[in-house]
Structure 1
Amino acid sequence: MGDDHSHSSKGSAKSWLERIAAIFTAEPQDLSDLVEIIQEAGTRQLIDTDTQRMLEGVLDVSKMRARDIMVPRSQMATLNINHSLQELMPVLLENNHSRYPVVNEDKDHIEGILLVKDLLAHALKGETDLDLRPFLRPAVIIPESKRVDALLKEFRQKRYHMAVVVDEYGGVSGLVTIEDILEQIVGEIEDEHDDEEDLDIKQMASHVFQVSALTPVDEFNESFGTEFDEEEASTIGGIVLHAFGHMPEKGETIELQHLTFKVSKANNRRLVQLQVIKAKTPAEPPTE
């Protein structure tokens, strides 16, 4: 019986070694084989964790279509071509993007792409009644089925950064930027404004707070006196997302533990910023 066990161990060890040898000597037959090689290289510390994740991200991108990573139509920040610069300033300040699709009437009628930097000199001169039309650049239109790796190649070769995604009927269904693709490879790219927003729980009014979705649950519980379960999710964004049961759009609200959570910033992959509203206590009668 001991001999059988020894034979079995040797056999399994041999098959395991053969498998490892095959991984590192044979050519990969498909993407799953290549992923296995990358994971094994990470396990053997031939590459570091970040490199492994990026390589896996590159392989993921090779399987994706524009519809998989686009910012959906409902979350697109657009500018109205008939508005003056003065009328558009609130949109520019709220979203803080470097470029916007410019629409006429609705999001299915995109006139072009506006780069905010093109307006800067005029804005500094106080020319707030500017007509946007002379500043528009052509909008690149792509189908939902466009391969993401091919799109990245076009972005680099043709030096544009944004593409409008349309469905089979020609209606606008979303947009993709070069940053959206790079985030699939290197992870979320935050700018200095995101850092400022994400650092703190900020009180905006007596009962209204701005909260980063990445705020740890224990920190949130301590600040708001709530009892959200840290086992359910590590961040308040995870708690809220789980409660919604779907990826909510900007402006959607949900009530949890006497608090109203409103999505103030999100992309098609995660919640970014939440507005938290405390229930107001009944007003005290005025003193005479």
Structure 2
Amino acid sequence: MTHADDTGGGRQAPEPDDEESSDKGFFGRLFDAFAPSEDEEDDGSPQSRTPPGLLNLRRMRVEDVAIPSVEIVSVPVEITLEELVDVFKESGLTRLPVYDGTLDSPLGMVHLKDFALRHGFGGHTSYDLREMMRPLIYAPPSMPIGVLLQKMQTDRMHMALVIDEYGGVDGLVTIEDLIEQVIGQIEDEHDTEEDKFWTVEQGGSYLAQAKTPLDEFEDEIGMRLVDPEEEEEIDTLGGLVVLLTGRVPTRGEVIPHPAGPEFEVIDADARRLKRLRVRVPDTRDE
């Protein structure tokens, strides 16, 4: 997972004006550098306009980017070593929240690196998940993402649980989710390959990128999803879903198509769709 290092690039950084500025962290200083001062007005010129990505640090809230609790992959503290290995393998994740009883009683998180160092190279023979747990950050849904990003960078933690007003877990957000709101989507070696727009899941449903070319997916399922007059306007699956709803739907929403398929939003933010699960009529669960 990508994160930024606050390095001086071989040059000595200027002395901070006070202790508060030295504690802001990389992202706090980055935002301050681009934000207009009190005596500056945004007249629309390139010199005075704040980059859109940096504006997201203040105007977007944690609830706008967090995945909902129903999609969180987590493990109970009493999970066995073999079961934990299976969860890491099946999810492809490197960090998993750990809970006691239910996810509303979180204890921390387990990192794949810590697990591998203890049990993957002929290391410790005794297994105790509590010994490997790291702390988590807890954030309210209304917190600006810039505040959480700065806290993550300061505390050197890459995962936060979103806690609602009743103390329950409402969602999860990673530092990568937050950075993507500023610089765009981050692709790594575990992300879907550029030319692999969808995969067929067990049961026959499709896990597809929202940018999947619509005509290619129609050929795959043998079904037309847009009328001829709409073909020139809609190029992707994500565009089709936005057309069906008239807006950008949120994670967890299921959008039916008049022809029978269902589109479930798996990953999205306030601005765009990212991944969809598509169930076609002959493979949908009865």
Give the TM-score normalised by structure 1: 0.68
Describe how 1:87-166 pairs up with structure 2 within 5 A: 87-121=83-117, 122-125=119-122, 130-166=127-163
Superposition deviation, residue 237 in structure 1: 3.3
Larger Rg, first or second structure (1 or 2): 1
Superposition deviation, residue 206 in structure 1: 9.3
* Equivalent-residue separation in structure 2 for 1:127 and 1:254 (angstroms): 51
Match of residue 196, structure 1, among 193, 197, 200: 193
Tell whether 2:252 aligns with 1:249: yes
Shift of the 228–87 alpha-carbon distance from structure 1 to 2, 3 Å rule, reads: same
SS in 2 for 1:196: coil
Tell me if the contact between 1:202 and 1:209 (Cα under 8 Å) persists in the aligned partners.
yes
Superposition deviation, residue 111 in structure 1: 0.6
Tell whether 2:45 aligns with 1:37: yes
Shift of the 38–69 alpha-carbon distance from structure 1 to 2, 3 Å rule, reads: farther
Stretches of structure 2 that go unaligned for 5 or more consecutive residues are 1-37
Tell me if the contact between 1:258 and 1:279 (Cα under 8 Å) persists in the aligned partners.
no
Superposition deviation, residue 142 in structure 1: 2.0
Cα deviation code 1:215-234 (max 9, x no counterpart) = 11111122222222235632
* 1:28 corresponds to: 40
* 1:23 corresponds to: none
Tell me if the contact between 1:79 and 1:103 (Cα under 8 Å) persists in the aligned partners.
yes
In structure 1, what residue type is equivalent to 2:153?
R
* 2:216 corresponds to: 219
Tell whether 2:107 aligns with 1:85: no
Superposition deviation, residue 144 in structure 1: 2.1
Shift of the 116–234 alpha-carbon distance from structure 1 to 2, 3 Å rule, reads: same
Matched residue count? 237
Identity score, percent? 33
Shift of the 94–266 alpha-carbon distance from structure 1 to 2, 3 Å rule, reads: farther
Tell me if the contact between 2:159 and 2:173 (Cα under 8 Å) persists in the aligned partners.
yes
* 1:238 corresponds to: 239
Match of residue 56, structure 1, among 22, 46, 52: 52
* Equivalent-residue separation in structure 2 for 1:161 and 1:206 (angstroms): 34
Between 1 and 2, higher relative CO (CA 8 Å, sep ≥ 6) is seen in: 2
Shift of the 149–277 alpha-carbon distance from structure 1 to 2, 3 Å rule, reads: same
Tell whether 2:171 aligns with 1:174: yes
Superposition deviation, residue 274 in structure 1: 2.6
* Equivalent-residue separation in structure 2 for 1:198 and 1:130 (angstroms): 41
Shift of the 176–231 alpha-carbon distance from structure 1 to 2, 3 Å rule, reads: same
**Larger mean Cα displacement after TM superposition, 123-132 or 180-189:** 123-132
In structure 1, what residue type is equivalent to 2:142?
S
Stretches of structure 1 that go unaligned for 5 or more consecutive residues are 1-25, 42-51, 281-288
SS in 1 for 2:162: strand
Higher percent of residues as helix: 1
Superposition deviation, residue 112 in structure 1: 0.6
In structure 2, what residue type is equivalent to 1:37?
S
